[in-house]
Amino acid sequence: MSASSVNRRRILSLWLPRLPIDRIQRFFNSAGLGKTNDPSIVVIKDNNALVIHALDEAAERLGLHIGQPLANARAMCPDLKVFDADVVADAKTLSDIADWCDRFTPLVALDAPHGLFLDITGCAHLFGGEAALLQTLVRALARQGFAVSAAIAGTSVCARTLTRQASGTIVADGGEAAAIDRFPVSALGAGEAITTGLRRAGLKTIGDVASRSASEITARFGARFSTLLAHALGQGDAPINPRKPLPDYIVEKRFAEPIATDAMIAMTLSRLADTLIASMEKQGKGARRLEAAFFRTDGVVRAIMVETGRPVTRSAVIDRLFRERLDALADPLDPGFGFDMVRLSASRTEIVVQEQRDLDAHVHDNDELAALIDRIAARIGGRRVVVHLPQDTHIPECAVLAAPAQHHLAAAMQAEWPARAESEPPLRPLRLFDKPEPIKVPFATVPDGPPHQFTWRRALHAVVRVEGPERIAMEWWRQDGKQLTRDYFRIEDAEGLRFWIFRDGLYEGEVFDGDGEPASPGWYVHGLFA
């Protein structure tokens, strides 16, 4: 076998022709309603008419077909059971099946609306060869209640064509043209207009089209169809688009007898973590994002992800993070009838930078802080553990940025905040509201004076001391024309409460009513001083 043959890709195409009706039937079975013997179809609206979108085997035996109007179908079968199409639910089911197919290869792509592509290059031997892999996959999906067609070829287009015409076919490398030459041109899926044009030209099979020169086909039907035909014949191929990026490192464990206990799951994760760390250590890498995937025997896949602030190089840390994550799950990990495969992958890794740790207490403190943040983030979510970073702006609500602590801890520790003047009161309150709250000001000293009293949260506050105004104009390069100049005041009321309020807009300069006449600007409280 030549080197080029060894390196050629091998694509397994899956097609679930009855996915919409199979999904509905699986729902009835899970609800304990049992399977009905009546012919069943799924309908969808097309050009203001209901047509058949999917049908079961019983309806197909009656002569019904996809695209047939519902009225005609009911005339042929009055006892027909009709369900409305749910495209979103069908897409979710296909995505779940794709997740399950990750057990065979991490390179799984969607072939909408009811198909999948699996790049099995170099991994078929793990399942006993391509024939054994295809049979294993088809039988497993059939047990889950899906009608499925599958084929393997060197290109995705050829494999897809075979699933529609000759399910179970495995085409050897270089045999794509001979495998599909007898099939009708409609099997290419090129569209109704091109298919009709080919038939009118007397080209009824793929072999008939392939016998014509490429320039002739391109001139008559376009470059896109010419490329599609070349790929179907095995003359080059466009790469598939996997749903998920390929992780940097993957380790997994398969079980002849499914596991279901927490102890076995924890032990499996621990052993996989040891293997993963050993693989990364050889290349001086540490993990920043880890994902554990649990494959149930009934096809359900559960994935759990944890992130770290620094590259992880110890399996004990991985154990601790996943233990925290599993304990905090709102939806506990349900093993059902057991997991027959557990996979641990590192989807993001970094080169580990060696630091002096024996004599530098500062490094130890940083490590402990990063580890604590990772544990809290694993339990409550990384977005809820934040650090605050100063921003170079004078707009109060934009002066501080809340960022995930796992990714910005180093920046937060090195950030420089404006120094406070000694023996001077703070210019900004410790607490700012997420959104300034409106207050009612009956009268104020115009044009730039403070209010004498105001009402906030239905309570009247009499102003006894005032500092200000501090005028803040909006940044002209960012504003959209709706942001007004603010005058901020530090206010103390008769009860000793201190507020930070502002007038939004200038009198007779920025605020106008619907008739274009000057209007009174609004007042807001933006924060409270301690």
Q: What is the pLDDT of residues 15-25, one digit of tens each?
A: 999 999 999 99
pLDDT averaged over every residue in the chain: 87
Residue 5 has pLDDT above 50, yes or no: no
Residue 424 has pLDDT above 80, yes or no: no
More confident residue, 138 or 410: 138
pLDDT band at 527 (very low <50, low <70, confident <90, very high): very high
- Closest residue by Cα to residue 209 from 199, 155, 137: 199
Between vectors from CA 197 to CA 194 and to CA 201, what angle results, nearest 5°? 140
b/e per residue 479-516 (b: at least 16 CB within 10 A): eeeebbbbbbbbbbbeeeebbbbbbbbbbeeebeeeee
> DSSP of 384-403, one letter per residue?
GSEEEEE-S-S-GGGSEEEE
pLDDT band at 6 (very low <50, low <70, confident <90, very high): very low
Taking only the tens place, the pLDDT of each residue in 40-64 is: 999 999 888 899 999 999 999 999 9
Taking the C-alpha atoms of residue 196 and residue 193, their distance in angstroms, rounded to an integer, is: 5
pLDDT band at 481 (very low <50, low <70, confident <90, very high): low
pLDDT band at 134 (very low <50, low <70, confident <90, very high): very high
Residue 3 has pLDDT above 70, yes or no: no
Q: What is the dihedral of CA 31, 32, 35, 39, to 10 degrees?
A: -40
Residue 2 has pLDDT above 50, yes or no: no
Residue 405 has pLDDT above 90, yes or no: no
- Closest residue by Cα to residue 93 from 141, 45, 156: 141
Residue 7 has pLDDT above 80, yes or no: no
pLDDT of residue 505: 85
Mean local confidence (pLDDT), 109-118: 93
Given a contact cutoff of 8 angstroms between Cβ atoms, the answer to whether 308 and 287 are in contact is: yes
Q: How many CB atoms lie within 10 A of CB 340?
A: 18
Taking only the tens place, the pLDDT of each residue in 249-301 is: 999 999 999 999 989 999 999 999 999 999 999 999 999 999 999 999 888 89
Taking only the tens place, the pLDDT of each residue in 237-263 is: 788 999 988 899 999 999 999 999 989
Residue 439 has pLDDT above 80, yes or no: yes
Taking the C-alpha atoms of residue 62 and residue 40, their distance in angstroms, rounded to an integer, is: 11
pLDDT of residue 514: 66
3-state DSSP assignment of residue 202? coil
> What does residue 130 show for φ and ψ, rounded to 5 degrees?
-65, -40
Percentage of the residues of the chain whose pLDDT score is greater than 70:
93
pLDDT of residue 4: 40
Residue 397 has pLDDT above 90, yes or no: no
Mean local confidence (pLDDT), 338-366: 75
Least confident of 151-165, 345-359, 481-495: 345-359
pLDDT of residue 47: 84
pLDDT of residue 41: 93
